Amino acid sequence: MTPAAKAHAAERAKRASSRAPRWCRHALEQTDCPVCGENPRTVYIAGGGTTFHLRKDCPSLVKGQTKVERRGGVTSPITAVGRKAASQVEFRDPCRTCVKKPLEERK
Ligand SMILES: [Zn+2]
Ligand SMILES: [Zn+2]
Protein backbone atom coordinates (compact mmCIF):
# COMPACT_ATOMS: atom_id res chain seq x y z
CA MET A 1 0.00 0.00 0.00
CA THR A 2 1.39 3.40 -0.91
CA PRO A 3 1.49 6.02 1.87
CA ALA A 4 -1.18 7.99 0.03
CA ALA A 5 -3.51 5.01 -0.16
CA LYS A 6 -2.87 4.27 3.50
CA ALA A 7 -3.78 7.81 4.51
CA HIS A 8 -6.86 7.59 2.37
CA ALA A 9 -7.95 4.34 4.02
CA ALA A 10 -7.39 5.78 7.48
CA GLU A 11 -9.43 8.83 6.58
CA ARG A 12 -12.24 6.65 5.30
CA ALA A 13 -12.24 4.53 8.47
CA LYS A 14 -12.39 7.66 10.59
CA ARG A 15 -15.34 9.00 8.65
CA ALA A 16 -17.19 5.69 8.85
CA SER A 17 -16.85 5.50 12.62
CA SER A 18 -18.03 9.07 13.13
CA ARG A 19 -21.12 8.25 11.11
CA ALA A 20 -21.88 5.06 13.02
CA PRO A 21 -25.41 5.29 14.38
CA ARG A 22 -25.94 5.99 18.02
CA TRP A 23 -29.06 4.43 19.41
CA CYS A 24 -31.38 6.34 21.65
CA ARG A 25 -33.43 4.88 24.47
CA HIS A 26 -36.28 4.27 22.02
CA ALA A 27 -34.07 1.93 19.98
CA LEU A 28 -34.03 4.41 17.10
CA GLU A 29 -31.01 6.03 15.56
CA GLN A 30 -30.50 9.05 17.74
CA THR A 31 -30.51 11.52 14.86
CA ASP A 32 -33.81 10.14 13.57
CA CYS A 33 -35.69 9.90 16.83
CA PRO A 34 -38.66 12.28 16.92
CA VAL A 35 -38.31 12.59 20.68
CA CYS A 36 -34.62 12.83 21.45
CA GLY A 37 -33.18 13.34 17.97
CA GLU A 38 -31.87 16.45 16.27
CA ASN A 39 -35.28 17.59 15.07
CA PRO A 40 -37.76 16.88 17.84
CA ARG A 41 -41.35 16.62 16.68
CA THR A 42 -44.68 16.55 18.36
CA VAL A 43 -45.72 12.99 19.08
CA TYR A 44 -49.08 11.59 20.17
CA ILE A 45 -49.93 9.29 23.02
CA ALA A 46 -53.10 7.68 24.34
CA GLY A 47 -53.50 7.60 28.09
CA GLY A 48 -53.56 3.82 28.48
CA GLY A 49 -51.02 2.97 25.79
CA THR A 50 -47.36 2.17 26.06
CA THR A 51 -46.28 3.58 22.71
CA PHE A 52 -45.97 6.99 21.11
CA HIS A 53 -47.04 7.94 17.61
CA LEU A 54 -46.00 10.42 14.97
CA ARG A 55 -49.48 10.64 13.53
CA LYS A 56 -52.65 11.42 15.40
CA ASP A 57 -54.51 9.34 12.80
CA CYS A 58 -52.13 6.39 13.03
CA PRO A 59 -54.10 3.20 12.27
CA SER A 60 -52.68 1.44 15.26
CA LEU A 61 -53.56 4.32 17.58
CA VAL A 62 -57.09 4.47 16.19
CA LYS A 63 -57.44 0.70 16.46
CA GLY A 64 -56.45 0.80 20.11
CA GLN A 65 -59.10 3.42 20.80
CA THR A 66 -61.78 1.44 18.94
CA LYS A 67 -60.94 -1.70 20.87
CA VAL A 68 -61.50 0.10 24.17
CA GLU A 69 -64.82 1.46 22.91
CA ARG A 70 -66.01 -2.00 21.80
CA ARG A 71 -65.32 -3.33 25.25
CA GLY A 72 -67.52 -0.56 26.56
CA GLY A 73 -64.61 1.25 28.09
CA VAL A 74 -63.97 4.94 28.04
CA THR A 75 -61.15 5.91 25.71
CA SER A 76 -58.54 8.16 27.12
CA PRO A 77 -57.96 11.22 25.00
CA ILE A 78 -55.06 11.36 22.59
CA THR A 79 -52.53 13.85 23.85
CA ALA A 80 -50.02 15.76 21.77
CA VAL A 81 -46.63 15.81 23.43
CA GLY A 82 -44.32 18.62 22.39
CA ARG A 83 -40.62 18.67 22.93
CA LYS A 84 -40.94 20.39 26.29
CA ALA A 85 -42.88 17.43 27.62
CA ALA A 86 -40.61 14.83 26.03
CA SER A 87 -40.06 13.15 29.40
CA GLN A 88 -43.65 11.89 29.11
CA VAL A 89 -42.66 9.60 26.27
CA GLU A 90 -39.21 8.76 27.56
CA PHE A 91 -40.22 5.27 28.59
CA ARG A 92 -42.70 4.56 25.82
CA ASP A 93 -41.87 2.51 22.75
CA PRO A 94 -42.01 4.00 19.26
CA CYS A 95 -45.08 2.82 17.34
CA ARG A 96 -44.12 0.21 14.76
CA THR A 97 -46.59 1.56 12.26
CA CYS A 98 -46.00 5.27 12.16
CA VAL A 99 -42.58 5.77 13.76
CA LYS A 100 -40.32 2.84 13.00
CA LYS A 101 -41.52 1.87 9.55
CA PRO A 102 -41.25 5.30 7.92
CA LEU A 103 -37.71 5.62 9.28
CA GLU A 104 -36.72 2.26 7.85
CA GLU A 105 -38.32 2.94 4.49
CA ARG A 106 -36.41 6.15 4.10
CA LYS A 107 -33.12 4.27 4.02
ZN1 LIG B 1 -35.37 8.52 21.26
ZN1 LIG C 1 -48.55 4.85 15.38
Q: Which ligand is nearest to the CA of 90?
A: 1
Is residue 47, in this structure, part of any structural domain at all? yes
Q: Distance between CA 50 and CA 91 in Å, rounded?
A: 8
Is residue 53, in this structure, part of any structural domain at all? yes
Q: DSSP letter at 73?
A: P
pLDDT tens figures, 43-100: 999 987 899 999 999 999 999 899 989 999 988 889 999 988 989 999 999 999 999 8
3-state class (DSSP) for residue 71:
coil
Average pLDDT over residues 12-33: 82
Closest C-alpha among 41, 52, 36, 44 to residue 80: 44
Is residue 78, in this structure, part of any structural domain at all? yes
The residues with which 23 forms a beta bridge, in sequence order, are 29
The residue type of 6 is: K
Is residue 14, in this structure, part of any structural domain at all? no
Residue 40 Cα to ligand 1 midpoint, Å, equals 9
Is residue 59, in this structure, part of any structural domain at all? yes
> Domain count of the chain?
1
Is residue 16, in this structure, part of any structural domain at all? no
Residue 14 Cα to ligand 1 midpoint, Å, equals 25
Look up the pTM and report it. 0.75
Range of the domain at 74: 23-106
